C-alpha cells in the first residue's frame, strides 16, 4: 500500500486510507505503511520511502490506467484552486480540501493511488536516493514554515529537481530567497530572537582538496593561497579571483596552482562514453567534459550542505529554533535565545563532511541584512 497524505497546515491534515479519508487518530493507520508519495509532517521520514524521489517529477499520468481521465481530474483540481484564489479565499487560512466536493476529491485520490501502485512496481532505489530523501524532507519542512518577508508571512518553497547539478531552486510564489538582492535582505526578519548564519569557507575549493586527498587548511582558504601559492605577494581578493579563474576555465594557463590543486579530479567520476558524471552522493549528471569539474564541485558541495542541514534539522526537533532557509553553501537558523547553548554543537555538525572537517563562519543578526561574525 502506498500512503497519500493531506497535509497543508495544522488544520488541514489527514491520510487517504482504504479508499477513504481519515482525518483523526491517523497514527495507527500510518504504522501499516512504509512507502508514501511525498513527505508529510505526519510521518517519521526514517521509516518511509518516497516514490516522488524515484519519479523525480510530480507527473503521475504516465502510470495511470487511463491518462485521459487522470488529466481531466487533474485539471478539475487546478480549476478549483484557481477559483478559490479568484474568490479571494486565503488558502493559508482555509483547508483547500474542505472547498472541494468530497466525491471529486475521493476520485482524484483513487486515480493517484492506481498510478502510485503502478509506479511502485517498476521503480527501484537508485544510488542518489539517500541524498534526495534528505533534501526532500528538509525542504518540505522548511516549506511548511512561515518566513517574515516585507512584514508579512511568506514561505520558501524549494524545487529539489530544478537545476542540472542538484542545487536548490525556488518555485513560483516562493519568497525569492535565491535571487533576493543584498540591499533587500533587511526585508527578511526572524520570528524568534535572531538569525544565525553558518557558511562554509571557500566550500567548493575545500571540496576539490577533499576529493584530491589533500589536507584541509585550518584557516581561511584564500589567505592560505596568498601565502602558499603567491608567497604573500598579492591581496586576498586578487588571489580569490585568480584561483576561481584558473579552476573553472580549462584554457587558463596559470600553472602555479597545479602544484596545489587538480583540475582533472573530475575524471575519477566522469564517463566520457555517455557524457555523464556520478558524484560521491550518487547523483548521475548529464554534462560534457568542459563543464564536468564545475558540476562535480558544485553538486558535491551543495549535497554536503543539504546533508548537514538535514542533520541539524533533526537536532532542533522539538525546539523553538528552526532552519529558516538554506542558501548555496550556508544555512540560516531562526534562533531562539534559550537554544543558543546548542550553537557550538550545531556548528560542529555543519562542518562535518565525508572527508573530514571544513571550516565555517558563524554570523548573527536581527535581520538577514545585518549579520555580524560571532566567534564561538
> Are 247 and 314 part of one and the same domain?
no
Give how many domains the chain has, as a whole number: 3
The reported pTM is 0.94
12 & 82 share domain: yes
pLDDT of residue 289: 94
Last residue of a domain, one of 81, 108, 125: 125
Residues 119 and 18 in one domain: yes
**Together in a domain, 21 and 93:** yes
Beta bridge partners of 271: 276
For cell 535565491, name the residue.
Answer: 178
Q: Are residues 102 and 70 in the same domain?
A: yes
Q: By three-state DSSP, how is residue 362 classified?
A: strand
- Same domain, yes or no, for 17 and 51? yes
Q: Which residues of 206-222 are buried (b: 16+ CB within 10 A; e: fewer)?
A: bbbbbbeeeebbeeebb
- Euclidean distance between CA atoms 158 and 184, whole angstroms: 20
User: What does the alpha-carbon distance between residue 361 and residue 300 come to, in Å, rounded to a whole number?
Assistant: 20
DSSP for 13-39, please give it: EEEEETTEEE-SS-HHHHTT-SEESS-
Mark whether 195 and 311 lie in a shared domain: yes
- Mark which of 267, 296, 325 sits at the end of a domain: 296
Same domain, 109 and 146: no
Q: 107 and 136 in one domain? A: no
**Bridge partners for 21 per DSSP:** 16
Quick one: 114 and 29 in the same domain? yes
Q: What residues contact 310, with CB distance under 8 A and at least 6 apart? A: 134, 135, 137, 138
Can you list the residues of the chain whose pLDDT is less than 70? 8-11, 89-94, 96
Q: How far apart are CA 158 and CA 167, in angstroms?
A: 10
**So what's the pLDDT on residue 87?**
76
* Phi and psi based region of residue 2 (left: phi greater than 0; alpha: psi -120 to 50; beta: remaining): beta
CA separation for the pair 282, 103 (Å, rounded): 42
pLDDT at residue number 133: 98
CB atoms within 10 A of CB 261: 17
Quickly list H helices, the chain: 27-30, 52-55, 67-86, 102-122, 129-143, 203-211, 221-228, 236-247, 289-315, 343-351
Of 241, 276, 296, the one marking the end of a domain is 296
- Contact yes or no for 332/153 (Cβ under 8 A): no
Per residue in 28-84, pLDDT tens? 999 999 999 999 999 999 999 999 999 999 999 999 999 999 999 989 888 887 887
Of 298, 303, 287, the closest CA to residue 244 belongs to 298
- The residue range of the domain holding 211 is 203-296
Q: Which three cell numbers stand for residue 361?
A: 563562519
Whole-number pLDDT of residue 105: 87
**Can you tell me whether residue 46 is helix, strand or coil?**
helix
328: closest CA among 356, 303, 359, 362? 303
Q: Do 267 and 307 reside in the same domain of the chain? A: no
Same domain? For 110 and 246 the reply is no
Q: Which domain CATH number covers 168?
A: 3.30.70.370
Amino acid at each position: 500500500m502506498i500512503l497519500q497524505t493531506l497535509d497543508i497546515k495544522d488544520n488541514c491534515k489527514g491520510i487517504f486510507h482504504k479508499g477513504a479519508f481519515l482525518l483523526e487518530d491517523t497514527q495507527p493507520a500510518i504504522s501499516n505503511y512504509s512507502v508514501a508519495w511525498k513527505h508529510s509532517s505526519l510521518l517519521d521520514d526514517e521509516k518511509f520511502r518516497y516514490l516522488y524521489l524515484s519519479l523525480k517529477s510530480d507527473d503521475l499520468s504516465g502510470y495511470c490506467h487511463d491518462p485521459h481521465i487522470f488529466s481531466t481530474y487533474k485539471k478539475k483540481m487546478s480549476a478549483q484552486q484557481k477559483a478559490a484564489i479568484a474568490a479571494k479565499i486565503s488558502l493559508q487560512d482555509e483547508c483547500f480540501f474542505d472547498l472541494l466536493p468530497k466525491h471529486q476529491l475521493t476520485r482524484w485520490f483513487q486515480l493517484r493511488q492506481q498510478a502510485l501502485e503502478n509506479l511502485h512496481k517498476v521503480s527501484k532505489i537508485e544510488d542518489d536516493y539517500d541524498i534526495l530523501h534528505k533534501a526532500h524532507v528538509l525542504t518540505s519542512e522548511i516549506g511548511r514554515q512561515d518566513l517574515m518577508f516585507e512584514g508579512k508571512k511568506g514561505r520558501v518553497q524549494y524545487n529539489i529537481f530544478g537545476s542540472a547539478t542538484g542545487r536548490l531552486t525556488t518555485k513560483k510564489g516562493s519568497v525569492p530567497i535565491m535571487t533576493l538582492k543584498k540591499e533587500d535582505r533587511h526585508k527578511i526578519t526572524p520570528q524568534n530572537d535572531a538569525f544565525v548564519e553558518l557558511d562554509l569557507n571557500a566550500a567548493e575549493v575545500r571540496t576539490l582538496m577533499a576529493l584530491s586527498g589533500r589536507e584541509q587548511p585550518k584557516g581561511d582558504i584564500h589567505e592560505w593561497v596568498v601565502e602558499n601559492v603567491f608567497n604573500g605577494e598579492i591581496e586576498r581578493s586578487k588571489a580569490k579571483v585568480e584561483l576561481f579563474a584558473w579552476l573553472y576555465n580549462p584554457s587558463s594557463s596559470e600553472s602555479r596552482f597545479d602544484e596545489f590543486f587538480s583540475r582533472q579530479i573530475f575524471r575519477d567520476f566522469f564517463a566520457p562514453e555517455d557524457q555523464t558524471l556520478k558524484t560521491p552522493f550518487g547523483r548521475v549528471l548529464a554534462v560534457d567534459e568542459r563543464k564536468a569539474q564545475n558540476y562535480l564541485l558544485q553538486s558535491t558541495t551543495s549535497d554536503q550542505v543539504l546533508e548537514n542541514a538535514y542533520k541539524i534539522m533533526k537536532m532542533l526537533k522539538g525546539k523553538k529554533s528552526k532552519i529558516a532557509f538554506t542558501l548555496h553553501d550556508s544555512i540560516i537558523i531562526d534562533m531562539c535565545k534559550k537554544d543558543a547553548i546548542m550553537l557550538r554543537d550545531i556548528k560542529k555538525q555543519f562542518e562535518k563532511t565525508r572527508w573530514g572537517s571544513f571550516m565555517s563562519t558563524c554570523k548573527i543578526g536581527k535581520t538577514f541584512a545585518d549579520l555580524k561574525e560571532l566567534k564561538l
